[in-house]
A and B are shown apart, each in its own frame.
Chain A
Amino acid sequence: MKEIGRAQVEDFLYHEAALLDAWRLDEWLELLTEEATYRVPSNDRPDSDPKSALFTIADDIRRIRARVTRLKDPHAHAESPRSRTRRLISNVRIVEQNPLLVEANFVIYRFRGNEDVRQYVGRYRFTLETRDGRFRIKSREAFLDAMELASLGTVSFIL
């Protein structure tokens, strides 16, 4: 099997980031596999299992879809009006080829209403699957560096 190169993975991550920043959430869902998970662990126990430790977010694919349904609903007050986000992704590394494990750093600038900017800084860990020459996300984890959310408030948008 041909090795996956960093540039290919970067293209994919940039594409995902663009969809999320544009709130093209249905198209974003199509990047996920049927068993995909989305997790934001508590940062003092980043390698915990959500079965035994409290996470900030621990979605299976059904909960991810429900989250998107919610985010598109004008009654999701926390995101109505929506956050305006701009995510910068860098330091992309392929950690393992098989399964394809990718890490990257992120900074997400979030603006909403007339609020000051809120900065979400952290690290992504993705497990990707390649099928028909395209990547699909099996798992995506976002590890925030902030010790506590405090002034960040909520993670009501998708990190």
Chain B
Amino acid sequence: MGWKLLVENSFDDYHLLTTHATWLDYLKSSGVEIKRPEKGHVLPSHGLGKDLGNGHGTTDNVNFRGRPVAAWIPIYGDAARPELERIRAELVQRLGESRAKRVADTNRNLVVFPNLVLLDGSSVSVRSFQPTAPDRMRVRAWALGPVEESPLARQVRLDSFLTFYGPGGFATPDDIEALESVQIGLGAYKEVQWSPLSRGIAKEGEQLNTDEAHLRAFWVQWDKLMRAA
């Protein structure tokens, strides 16, 4: 499956609790409040998985993990608090209350079919990947920030990036480990022919970020294109 595993990983939220248990522990021990999931939920906040058509898809989540743009958590440090409040006030003034809330208090991971990802989580990262062999790929990732940000806002954004993303982050290396382990497991494809992606398949209406409707939409599109080829 190679690169397609990274697509799944990039906008699947179901793996957060298990793959990133140590990252969640880090948030908790740093004073970030992690609520108990509500009934029917796996994660501390409500979030959706959306099929955007043609294989594109996104999560759309109420944020609980802090956002360098304007949702302060203790990891950012006390000195950053007034700066984030200033940014939020500017957002409200420019965009109005509800749009500002959308920017500051929701987060999403968006897949542009087939291999471009916008991770709007602990910071904004753009990720793209190319297969170099059936079981290898080259991944490139960028940190995205506003040109006009203040030095303090930039510091918070870059620092927050490193808490999660990148080869030395507290989360991405565990994703890579999962991808590599699954790839090895897939070597048994002759004995085990299916990788089930059935979460939420019997549901009507709303699909959660921890369901797999948006992942299935990616695979359906891939399958359609491959069959046509």
Contact residues of A with B, CB < 8 Å? Answer: 40, 50-58, 63, 66-67, 69-70, 73, 75-79, 149-150, 152-156
Q: CB-CB contacts of B44-88 with A at 8 A, as 1s and 0s?
A: 000000000000000000000000000000000000000000000
- Contact indicator B170/A154 (Cβ below 8 Å): no
With contacts A54-B158, A55-B162, A58-B159 taken as known, whether A155 is within 8 angstroms of B26 at the C-beta atoms is no
Given contacts A57-B168, A58-B159, contact A66 B174 (CB under 8 A): no
B162 partner, pick from A58, A78, A152, beta carbons under 8 A: A58
Whether B170 and A56, one on each chain, are in contact in the complex, defined by CB atoms closer than 8 angstroms, is no
Q: Is the interface of B mostly helix, strand, loop or mixed?
A: helix
Are the C-beta atoms of A52 and B151 separated by less than 8 Å? Answer: yes
A55 to B158, CA, bound (A): 8
- State how many angstroms separate the Cβ of A29 from the closest Cβ of chain B: 16
Known: A52-B155, A76-B22, A78-B174. A155 touches B161 (CB 8 A): no
Contact A153:B170 (CB < 8 A) given known A51-B151, A51-B154, A58-B162: no
The contact size tier of chain B is 20 to 34
Smallest CB separation, B79 vs chain A (Å): 12
Show 9 residue pairs from A and B whose CB-CB distance is below 8 angstroms, ordered by the A residue.
A40-B168, A50-B159, A51-B151, A58-B159, A66-B29, A75-B18, A78-B176, A155-B173, A156-B177
Most chain B Cβ neighbours within 10 Å, of A67, A76, A78, A155? A78
Q: Determine whether the beta carbon of B25 is less than 8 Å from that of A73.
A: yes
Please name the residue on chain B nearest to A149 by beta carbon: B167
Chain B residues with CB under 8 A of A56: 166-168
Q: Which residues of A contact B220 (CB under 8 A)?
A: none
A131 vs chain B, min Cβ distance (A): 27
Q: For the complex, is B172 an interface residue (Cβ under 8 Å from A)?
A: yes
How far apart are B174's CB and chain A's nearest CB, in angstroms? 4
CA distance A152 to B176 in the complex (A): 12
- Contact in complex: B154, A77 (CB < 8 Å): no
Contact A77 B158 (CB under 8 A): no
User: Are A70 and B26 in contact (CB-based, < 8 A)?
Assistant: yes
- The reply to whether A51 and B155 contact each other, CB–CB distance below 8 Å, is yes
For B161, give its contact among A54, A69, A73, A149 (CB under 8 Å): A54
Chain A min CB distance to B212 (Å): 21
Neighbouring B residues of A51 by C-beta, 8 Å:
151, 154-155, 158
Report whether A77 and B177 are in contact in the complex, using a CB–CB cutoff of 8 Å: yes
Cβ 8 A contact of B170, one of A50, A55, A70, A152? A70
A75 touching B138, Cβ below 8 Å: no
CB neighbours (8 Å) of B151 from chain A are: 51-52
Taking the complex as formed, is B197 at the interface, i.e. its CB lies under 8 A from any CB of chain A?
Answer: no
Closest to B165 in A: A54
Q: Judging by beta carbons under 8 Å apart, are B21 and A75 in contact?
A: yes
Q: How far is the CA of A40 from the CA of B166 in the complex (A)?
A: 12
